[in-house]
């Protein structure tokens, strides 16, 4: 297993503090670092997993970018719940929701992704865009997302992954070793690998794609929970 795959996550309270300070500039900073490939990942998730009328959970919703895309797609009969560790991030999200006039379709709640406060089989679609990367237990977090997905529903995930080219991978690790010392820059993100745990739980993969710039690739996938 690679160094980045076993890199220790930031403490949840530290992570909450980091994102609290980043909340108002998160959208700009994340887009800049990823050359806007983050937005491409969000669009892939929503376009391929969300349907009109769905009850959607956007978990690790941050400033609400993915959730707002989902709220536009579910239409007036659908509902979207934004869930995040950071109330500061959700405050920014609420401002964006109000600007978009989607407040009747969107609710918000804060908490720990590894211990979701929702009943099993609650949501038609569950989204996670770059929220498993900084999590202290990414695999358990992914299994929680799968737990609250209804049978026949979809779990759609985008997360950081390692470059597949060995030379680029070595370069990425060198850069990351420096960035990791500056949490405001790294945002606690590191490469994770959660799909095997979901497949062992019975998930059926229906979409997958690698995207992003060479040093900062993302893995986008959608699984279905058997009915």
φ, ψ of residue 55 to 5 degrees: the values are -100, 115
Domains and CATH numbers, the chain: 4-201 (3.40.50.150)
The structure tokens listed for 6 are 């076993």
| pLDDT, position 35 | 83
Q: What helix, strand, coil percent values describe the chain, rounded to 5? A: 45, 25, 35
| pLDDT, position 6 | 54
Strand positions, DSSP E, the chain: 55-59, 79-84, 106-110, 123-129, 149-160, 204-213, 216-224
Q: Is the model's pLDDT at 3 over the cut of 50?
A: no
Per-residue pLDDT reduced to its tens digit, 82-117: 999 999 999 999 999 999 999 999 999 999 999 999
| % pLDDT > 90, the chain | 78
Judge whether 222 and 39 are in contact, CB under 8 Å: no
| % pLDDT > 70, the chain | 97
Judge whether 121 and 149 are in contact, CB under 8 Å: yes
Per-residue pLDDT reduced to its tens digit, 21-71: 999 999 999 898 888 899 999 999 999 999 999 999 999 999 999 999 999
Pairing between strand 216-224 and 204-213?
antiparallel
Judge whether 157 and 224 are in contact, CB under 8 Å: no
| pLDDT, position 180 | 80
The structure tokens listed for 210 are 């690698």
Residue 78 has what DSSP assignment? -
């Amino acid at each position: 297993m690679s160094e980045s795959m076993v890199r220790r996550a930031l403490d949840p309270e530290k992570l909450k503090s980091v994102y609290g300070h980043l909340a108002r500039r998160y959208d700009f900073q994340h887009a800049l670092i990823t050359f806007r490939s983050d937005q491409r990942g969000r669009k892939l998730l929503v376009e391929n997993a969300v349907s009109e009328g769905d009850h959607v959970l956007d978990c690790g919703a941050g400033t609400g970018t993915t959730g707002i895309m989902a709220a536009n797609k579910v239409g007036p009969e659908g509902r979207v719940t934004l869930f995040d560790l950071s109330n500061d991030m959700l405050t920014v999200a609420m401002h964006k929701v109000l600007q978009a006039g989607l407040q009747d379709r969107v609710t918000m709640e804060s908490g720990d992704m590894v211990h979701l406060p929702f009943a099993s089989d609650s949501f038609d679609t569950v989204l996670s865009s770059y929220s498993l990367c900084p999590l202290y237990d990414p695999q358990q977090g992914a299994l929680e997302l799968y737990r609250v997905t209804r049978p026949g529903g979809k779990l759609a995930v985008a997360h950081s992954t390692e470059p597949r080219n060995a030379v680029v991978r070595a370069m990425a690790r060198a850069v990351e070793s420096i960035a990791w010392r500056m949490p405001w820059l790294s945002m606690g993100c590191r490469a994770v690998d959660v799909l095997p745990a979901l497949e062992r739980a019975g998930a059926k993969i229906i979409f997958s794609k690698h995207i992003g710039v060479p040093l900062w690739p993302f893995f986008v996938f959608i699984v279905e929970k058997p009915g």
